[in-house]
Amino acid sequence: MPKIALLNVKGEKIKDIKLSDEVFGIEPNNQTIYDAVVLKQASMRQGTHKVKTRSEVSGGGRKPWRQKGTGNARQGSIRAPHFVGGGVVFGPTTERNYTKKQNRKERRLALKSALTYKARENGIVVVENIELSSNKTKDFIKLLEDLKVTGKTLIVVKELTDNLILASRNLSNVKVIESHEINTYDVLNYNNVVITEEAVKMLEEVLR
């Protein structure tokens, strides 16, 4: 079982705790990680991209010149795709569906694989609890400094509090989520994962 230091909010070590091998110490499966990341990125797409075809652009209702006698190539509309201002052929439309699927077993394997990689890289910080007495951002920044956490940081707690939400929302490089919201993409996308002891226990219980 991998061991990790349990810290208080001041960054002081309380004791060493053991993380479950079934969640933080498995043999990572790169394919499921890839599939989970692609699924997450696909679900983040709006899918509102749209171009106009030759039937949708304005103008071009009549034949630009007669069929014969001008010396020009025959044309039926000035809105054909090869004309400037013409319609687009095979362009993106709103009909495209980016939905992807991954079954629960694969999703859990991907998350456990990501957590294993993060644990190996010493990118996981376990805190006894995260309780803020105020909703001021400077107090939250002080907490991160005490934990010696820099860069993009994912905070995982069992249950969000109003103070934690308000204090962290102005920080673009910090994301705060509840343990049931954790996903493979976020674990890999952030340099550090700060997780409370309660959230660790919940993850180990759910993912085993």
**Contact status, residue 14 vs residue 1, Cβ threshold 8 Å:** no
pLDDT for residue 1: 66
Provide the pairing of β-strand 3-7 with 13-18. antiparallel
All CATH 3.40.1370.10 domain ranges of the chain, comma separated, are 3-45+99-207
Q: What is the pTM of this model?
A: 0.83
The residue whose two tokens read 């039937």 is: 55
**For the domain 3-45+99-207, what is the CATH code?**
3.40.1370.10
Other Cβ atoms less than 10 A from the Cβ of 90: the count is: 8
Provide the residue type at 91 as one letter.
G
The residue whose two tokens read 């009549």 is: 62
Give 5's contacts (C-beta < 8 A, 6+ positions apart). 13, 14, 15, 16, 17, 126
pLDDT by residue for the chain (208 residues), tens digit each? 678 999 998 889 999 999 999 999 999 999 999 999 999 999 999 889 999 999 999 988 899 999 999 999 999 999 999 999 999 999 999 988 899 999 999 999 999 999 999 999 999 999 998 988 899 999 999 999 999 999 999 999 999 999 999 999 999 999 999 999 999 999 999 999 999 999 999 999 999 8
Determine the Cα–Cα distance for residues 4 and 6; give it in Å rounded to an integer: 6
Determine the Cα–Cα distance for residues 208 and 203; give it in Å rounded to an integer: 8
Locate 151 and state its tokens. 């860069």
